[in-house]
Amino acid sequence: MEQQPAASIFLALQESALGHLMRSSPALYPAVEILHILGFVVLVGSILALDLRLLGWGRAIPIAPMAKLLLPLSRFGFGLAISMGFLLFSADASHVVRNPAFQAKLLLIAAALVNVVIAHAGPWRRVALWRDEAPAGAKVSALVSLLLWLGAVCAGRLIAYL
């Protein structure tokens, strides 16, 4: 039976020097996994705080300065989580890519990123004009964001069990 080209890409990654290194080092995989977790903790924690503020919690904190603090943190967390996630993926790519929880995680992350683009192209363009409350469009985006990012975390955790 002939391998499909996409499957061979994942097998090649898994069998690469990187994949072998991730599987063979007793300390590397756990260290990378810890960094991956720290990345998504920073990412989702900062997003959670900002989205809850947009939904009306913590009205004493102005939205614009809070966003100025938390958005760079979320970008840093995303970069760390994605880069470490790729390293983890390389250890068993041909198997993990077929895992429905992994597939769901990727779809949820992609949808969350689309939500970010829509939010920043729409309601966030006028953030300087917001008073103490975010407009309805920003609230909808915040609620969608919460659901998608928390769903991605849950799906990611389920990878080990499916």
pLDDT number for residue 139: 96
Confidence of residue 1 (pLDDT cuts 50, 70, 90): very low
Show Cβ contacts of residue 130 under 8 Å, excluding neighbours closer than 6 positions. 63, 64, 138
List Cα–Cα distances, 11 to 52, 89, 97, in angstroms.
41, 11, 10
Which comes out higher in pLDDT, residue 156 or 5?
A: 156
Q: In whole angstroms, what is the distance from residue 77 CA to residue 41 CA?
A: 7
- Give me the chain's average pLDDT, please: 94
CB 142 within 8 A of CB 47: no
Band of residue 147 on the pLDDT scale cut at 50, 70, 90: very high
Window from 97-106, 121-130, 133-142 with minimum mean pLDDT: 121-130
Rounded-to-integer distance, Cα 68 and Cα 18, Å:
36
The confidence score (pLDDT) of residue 6 equals 64
Q: What residues contact residue 27 under an 8 Å CB cut-off, 6+ apart? A: none
pLDDT in tens, 65-124: 999 999 999 999 999 999 999 999 999 999 999 999 999 999 999 999 999 999 999 988
- Could you state, in order of their start, the residue ranges of all structural domains in the chain? 5-161
Is the confidence at residue 9, as pLDDT, over 50?
yes
Distance CA 84, CA 38 (A): 10
| Confidence bin at 10 (pLDDT 50/70/90) | very high
14-67 tens-digit pLDDT: 999 999 999 999 999 999 999 999 999 999 999 999 999 999 999 999 999 999
Whether residue 3 has pLDDT greater than 90: no
User: What number of other Cβ atoms are within 10 A of residue 130's Cβ?
Assistant: 17
